Structure 1
Amino acid sequence: MPVVWEWDVGERFCVLDGVQNVDDEYQLSKGISRADGFPADASFAMSAKHRKYVALADNISNLNRALVVSRKLKEAIEARRPRDVEFLRVSIFDHKQKLASNDYFIINPFNVIDCIDKDKSKYRWNNIDPEKMSSCTRLVLKPEAIHPELLLFRPRHLEYYVLIHPDLAAALEDEGFTGLRFTPIDEFES
């Protein structure tokens, strides 16, 4: 069963504001391909609310809930050849607007799978967007809807979350990447 890709900010890693210089940035959390015409000056700035934290993790929390990852983590995933996933280069600026790194990427899985068992899950629909769940306290997936070799995807109705194959999650944890946390489906709450 897949697990939910999340962030482990810890006590030292930076947190990012929203992506800058990207039109329709909301698409980055909807499972929409953005590779064509993605701007070369796409960037994130470290959050002023977290001024003490400046260290760059391999997986960085941000307001867009995008998967912002280091080149090393990107290459580890890319080497496994996930389907329907794109890697979009972004820069990161520190609290003083100085370039901290231009070697980070948004991992954008654009495969949206209708895999939530709505009869067994416990959730509330969003009042504004009737196709989105605003909260989910019990997530149950339909295993038959998920191809067993699918490495990264987004669940329909909760597209701003990315689900990852448990073998890939375990391999990434074993490789010691920082800022990663994977939550089992039965422990997930949004």
Structure 2
Amino acid sequence: MDYWVLKAESADGAIIDALPEGSPTNWKFSRGEPLARQFPAGGKVSFSDHFPDRRQLYDFVRNTVGVLLVSSRVKQVLENLQVDNAEFLPVTMCDHQWSPVAEGYGILNVLGSQDVIDLERSKYRLDRITKKEIARLNRMAVASEKVDPKADIFRARNMMELILISDRTKQAFEQAGLTGFRAHPAEGFDDMFA
């Protein structure tokens, strides 16, 4: 089976550069652990002041805080696929002046991970502090035989901020006409160029 690295990408889409007030710290969003109890109800995010012309909202919203910020349409597609390893943490999208422009968005927190990176064949650099997690991925080799065949969206065990999807999920996203994302082939993936 082929796998794809999922990224929010758009040339003109809004960019978010902060989590809602009272959110868990950024690094907790890449651990693959539930955060719903810690996440603030009624959280708001706003378009970045650093990108004043970026106002278009897509189903996947670019951000600088390392999360998957998605519309309820993405949530619905995943529910239709019976994905049960993700939680949707609702936020209200606001413009640059903090006026609400859209509801039905949220952070998609993907829970757990899969051992998808073949450490023998991949080219990477380990984190200098932990010596366990991958800090830089130059060329990914996929260990598809180690991935649960039912996994439709998941984190890479040795690089938890890297989120992958199955062919089935990619096709469902495309058939639903979801916008603002790009699926990069996982085999050979280089995080410098994504």
CA contact (8 A) 2:24 2:38 kept: no
Residue 97 of structure 1 corresponds to: 98
Supply the distance in 1 between the matched residues of 2:151 and 2:116 (Cα, whole angstroms): 13
Residue 58 of structure 1 corresponds to: 59
**RMSD over aligned Cα, in angstroms?**
1.5
Written as runs of structure 1 = structure 2, the 5 A alignment for 1:4-19 is 4-10=5-11, 12-19=12-19
Supply the distance in 1 between the matched residues of 2:27 and 2:43 (Cα, whole angstroms): 14
Written as runs of structure 1 = structure 2, the 5 A alignment for 1:36-47 is 36-47=37-48
TM-score in terms of structure 1 length: 0.92
- How many residue pairs end up in the alignment? 189
Q: Which amino acid aligns with 2:15?
A: V
Q: Which amino acid aligns with 2:152?
A: L
Please give the per-residue CA displacement for 1:83-104, whole angstroms capped at 9, x wherever unaligned: 2211111122211121122320
Supply the distance in 1 between the matched residues of 2:89 and 2:24 (Cα, whole angstroms): 14
C-alpha displacement of 1:25: 3.2
Residue 166 of structure 1 corresponds to: 167
C-alpha displacement of 1:30: 1.9
Supply the distance in 1 between the matched residues of 2:95 and 2:64 (Cα, whole angstroms): 15
SS in 1 for 2:102: strand
Written as runs of structure 1 = structure 2, the 5 A alignment for 1:121-160 is 121-160=122-161
Please give the per-residue CA displacement for 1:59-108, whole angstroms capped at 9, x wherever unaligned: 00111221111112211112211122111111222111211223201111
**Unaligned ranges ≥5, structure 2:** none
SS in 1 for 2:148: coil
CA contact (8 A) 1:173 1:180 kept: no
Runs of 4+ in 1 over 3 A off after TM superposition: none
Residue 69 (structure 1) aligned with residue 61 (structure 2): no
C-alpha displacement of 1:187: 4.3
Change (3 A) 1:175 1:102: closer
Supply the distance in 2 between the matched residues of 1:127 and 1:42 (Cα, whole angstroms): 34
Q: How high is the sequence identity, in percent, across the aligned residues?
A: 26
Q: Which amino acid aligns with 1:108?
A: N
Q: Which amino acid aligns with 1:13?
A: G
Supply the distance in 2 between the matched residues of 1:94 and 1:171 (Cα, whole angstroms): 29
Supply the distance in 1 between the matched residues of 2:46 and 2:128 (Cα, whole angstroms): 31
Supply the distance in 1 between the matched residues of 2:80 and 2:39 (Cα, whole angstroms): 22
SS in 2 for 1:161: strand
